[in-house]
Amino acid sequence: MIESLPERIHCLGAGGAGMLPLAIYLSEVGHIVSAEDDAFGEHAETLLRSCGVLVQPFDEGCEALVYSSAIPPSHPAYRKMREAEKPLLRRGECLALIAQGKRLVAISGSHGKTTTCAMLIDILDTLGFDFDYLLGALYDKKAPSRFAGSHWLVAEIDESDGTIDSFSPEITLILNVDHDHHARYKTEGEYFAAFESLARRTSGTVIFDGSLKERLCPDVDSAVDWVGVGVDSVLHAKPAGSGWTWLGLEGQKALPTVLLNRSGEMNFYDAACALLAANAMGSEILEGQIFEMNSVKRRQRCWFNSPETQVFEDYAHHPREIQSLLECVENVPGWQTVVVFQAHRYSRTRELKEELANSLSLCEELVLLDVYAASEDPQEGGMGTDLYEACRKRNQRVCYISDKVGPIGTLFARAQQPKTRIIFLGAGVGDQLARQLSDLLAEQDKRWGQFYRSLAEVSYFSLAIKADEPLANKTTMRVGGTAERYLEPASLSQLLAALKACKKAGIEVLPLGRGSNLVVADSGVSGLVIRLSHPYWSRFELLGEGRARLGAGMRIKALCGQAAKEGLQGFEFLEGIPGSLGGVLRMNAGAMGGWVFDVVESIRFATLDGEVLEAKKGDLDFGYRYCRELEDAIALDAVFVSKEQKGVPDQIRRTIDTYQNKRKESQPREPSAGCIFKNPDGDSAGRIIDELGLKGAVVGGAEISQVHGNFIINRGGATSEDVVELVKFARKVAKERKGVELHPEVLLFGSKWEDALR
C-alpha cells in the first residue's frame, strides 16, 4: 500500500478518464478501493470490477475520499467526509502521494499529454523496461494503469485544478503551453508560471517545446538536462506508407531512426518527446526498431473504415490541438471530409471563440453541435450559436445542429455520399455519436459491415481498404481480374484483426505476396486479398551466431543483398527467385540445387483464424514445392541460419552475381509466373516440353517461352484464360505422347486447377 494513504479508499467520479486508472492502480497496490460514478462509460464498470475495485455507493466506513475535480463540495459523500474530518484528496493530490519516493516521469502540457504518455508507455513496453504507469485515459486493449513495484512511474500531470504544484519529477515533459482553464488562471502569465515552476522542481531532465526556450530560460549551469525539441534535438520524418513513419532525431540529443505507426507533425513531435524520455530513463533504442502504438479511446480513434466511408473521433478541443489534428488528416484525392465539433464548457468557448473559429476554418465542411456544459451554467457569448456565428465569418460550409434535433440522421444521410470521411472532435459526446453512426453504417452492409467495424479498431487515418482492386499489376504474370476487397495491413494487429473479422463473417481470405508463382483468374477473386507489402513486414534482425529473423514481406533480392552486406553466407542460391519470403516459404521454393528450408531454423505464421503460431523446422511438414502448415496460413517471419557467419561480403556478392547471370541466360525476360509445372520425379518439365516441340506455342497473348519450356510468358494483352488454355494444351500433349502427367506448380488465384482443367 501507499504509506501516506489509509487502507480503505473511496473514489468518487471513478468513471472519468483520469480517475478510473487511479482507482485500479490503488487496488493493485493493495488498498481496499470502492468506486462510484453517476454515469459509468463504456465498459468502465466491468473493467473496475475485473481489477478488484468494489463498484458501490459511498460507505461511511471508508477512510479517505479521492474525487474528481468535477465533483462539487455539495456532494453528499464529500460533505460527510469533511464533517468526519477524514482525508479529502483530488485526483492530482492522490497521484502526488503515490509519486513520493518514485522516479517520476511527468507528462505535462496544455494538450497532447495522453497521446504522448501512451506513446511512452508503449515504447517502454516494447523495450522491455520495468516501470509503473498511470494513463489519463483508457486503452482499447491494454490496462490504463499498472503497478509493477518499479521505482519508475510514468504519469500525466494535470494543470487544470492546480495540483500540478504538488509534483517534483525526475523527468518532465512540457509539450506545449497555450493559455487554458481561464477560471483558474486569469492571465497567460499565471498559466505559464505553473509549468515553469514544475520545470524548476525537476531533478533530472526537462524535455520541452523548443519554441519555449527563451521563456523557460534553462539554467545551463544546473545539473538538470534541458532538451528543447526542435532546437537541441531536431526531428526528421519520412513516410513509410499506411500511416507509418520513419522518425529520427538529430543534433545535440540524437536518437536512431525508428519506424512507428503514426503520421502528421503533431504525432511526430509527441513521439519524439516520448523517445527522448525513454532514452533519459536509460533505455536503449536501436536503429530501425519498430514501435507499434496501441489505440487509446478518444484519441485519433477510427470507428468505421470502408472503401467509401470512414468515421474517426478525437478528444481535441483546444484551438491549437484542433489545428494540429486536422493537419494530420491526409488529403486523399476524391475524398470529402466533414468535421463535427462540440465545444467544451461555456467559459472556454467564450474565451477562445475566435481562436476556435480560426482553427475550424480549415474544415472542408463543418457541423457544430451545442456546447458540452461539463457542469457549467450557460454563459452569454459562450453558446453553440455564438461559435456558429464566428465560424460563419470564415467558412460558408458550416451548419449548426442543436441537441433538440440531434445530428445522427443528418450525418447518416451525408455518409451515403461516396468517399466521405466524418471526424468527430471535442471533449463532449463525440465518441457516443461516432459509435451510433458506425453501428448504422455496419448494419447497412450485411456482408462487409462488421468487418469494417472490426478493422476500424486498429486503423489510422491512412489505412485504406479497397474495393474491386485490379490485381494484374500486382503479379509478375500481369493477367487477371479484381479483388472484391483488398488490404495491405501495416502491422500484426491489423492483420490479425482482419483475419478474425473475416472468420466471423465467413469471408474467404487469400494471401497474395509479391504476386509471383500464381495466375489470377479473369473473373477476379471473391473475398479479401491480403498483401504484406508494408515496410513493417520487411525487417532484417540480426540475432547473433549467424542467425537472422527475416520478415515475410521482404523481397528475396533485398534479403540476399542484406545478408551479403552482413557477411552471412549460404543464402546466395535464393537470388533471382521472384517474390517475397512469405511466398517462397509457402512453396518451399528453390534454385541452383538448394531449397529455402535448407537455411530455415523456424517460422512464425498466422492461421486464417487469426492465431499466431511458431514452429521449428523439424516440426514442419515440407517437401518439393510445399509446406503444409502454410497452405492455409500466412507466414509472418522466419529465422534463417547462415552456414558461415563471417563471410566476406565481396565474395558473397560475386557468388550472387554468378547465379544471377545463370538465371538471365536460362530464363525469359518477359512477364511470367515462373515455372508453370512441377518437375516429374527424376525428370524436368522444361526438358519434356522442349522435346515435344511445344516452345513457341501461342494462345491469345500467352506463349510457351522459346527460352525455357517451363515458362509461359505474357507477350502483351494476355488473359488468365489464355494461360489456362496453354496449360491444358501442354498437359494433353505430354500425356498423349509421353504418358507423363504434368501438374501445375503455380497457383490459380481465385479459382482451382481441378475446376479449370476439366
pLDDT at 387 over 80: yes
Three-state SS for 246?
Answer: strand
H-helix or E-strand spanning residue 387 = helix 384-392
pLDDT attached to residue 647: 64
Specify which residues 241 forms β-bridges with.
244
Q: How far apart are the first and last CA of the chain?
A: 74
Rounded to the nearest 10 degrees, what angle do helices 346-360 and 384-392 cross at?
20
Q: What amino acid is encoded at 634 in this protein?
A: I
Q: Is the pLDDT at 355 greater than 90, yes or no? A: yes
Res. 122: pLDDT tops 70: yes
What whole-number distance in Å separates Cα of residue 456 and Cα of residue 312? 9
The pLDDT value recorded for residue 567 is 84
pLDDT, tens only, 588-602: 876 666 788 888 999
Q: Nearest Cα to 104, choosing from 168, 161, 28, 18?
A: 168
Q: ∠209-212-213 over CA atoms, to 5°?
A: 100
Residues belonging to the active site:
625, 675, 745
Relative to beta strand 301-305, strand 309-314 is antiparallel
User: Quick one: which of 728, 719, 309 has its CA closest to 521?
Assistant: 719
What is the b/e burial string over 603-623, where b = at least 16 CB atoms within 10 angstroms of the residue's CB?
bbbbebebeeeeeebeebebe
What the chain holds in terms of domains, given with CATH numbers, is 1-92 (3.40.50.720), 101-298 (3.40.1190.10), 301-456 (3.90.190.20), 538-664 (3.30.465.10), 670-756 (3.90.78.10)
Residue 624, pLDDT score: 82
User: How many contiguous H segments (helices) and E segments (strands) does the chain have?
Assistant: 21, 41
**Of the candidate ranges 181-185, 285-289, 336-340, the one whose mean pLDDT is the lowest:** 181-185
Residue 367 is predicted with a pLDDT of: 96
DSSP 6: -
Report DSSP letters for 565-616, one per residue: HTT-BS-GGGTT--SBHHHHHHHT-EETTEEGGGSEEEEEEEETTS-EEEEE
What does the pLDDT average to over 128-153? 94
User: What percent of the chain is modeled with pLDDT above 90?
Assistant: 70
What's this model's pTM, rounded to 2 decimal places? 0.85
Residue 274 has pLDDT above 90, yes or no: yes
Mean pLDDT of 422-444: 94
Higher model confidence: residue 362 or residue 123? Answer: 123
| Amino acid residing at 585 | L
Look at the alpha carbons of 621, 627, 628, 632 in this order and tell me if their dihedral is positive or negative. positive
Q: How far is CA 253 from CA 199, 207, 216, 234, 279, in A?
A: 19, 11, 19, 8, 10
pLDDT value at residue 412: 96
- More confident: 472 or 664: 472
Nearest residue to 366 (alpha-carbon basis) of 330, 342, 383, 335: 342
pLDDT band, very low/low/confident/very high, at 465 (cuts 50, 70, 90): very high
Taking alpha carbons only, the member of 578, 522, 474 closest to residue 723 is: 522
Q: 747-749 and 518-520 as β-strands: parallel, antiparallel, unpaired?
A: parallel
Other CB atoms within 10 A of residue 686 CB? 20
Band of residue 730 on the pLDDT scale cut at 50, 70, 90:
very high
SS3 for 78?
helix
pLDDT of residue 666: 65
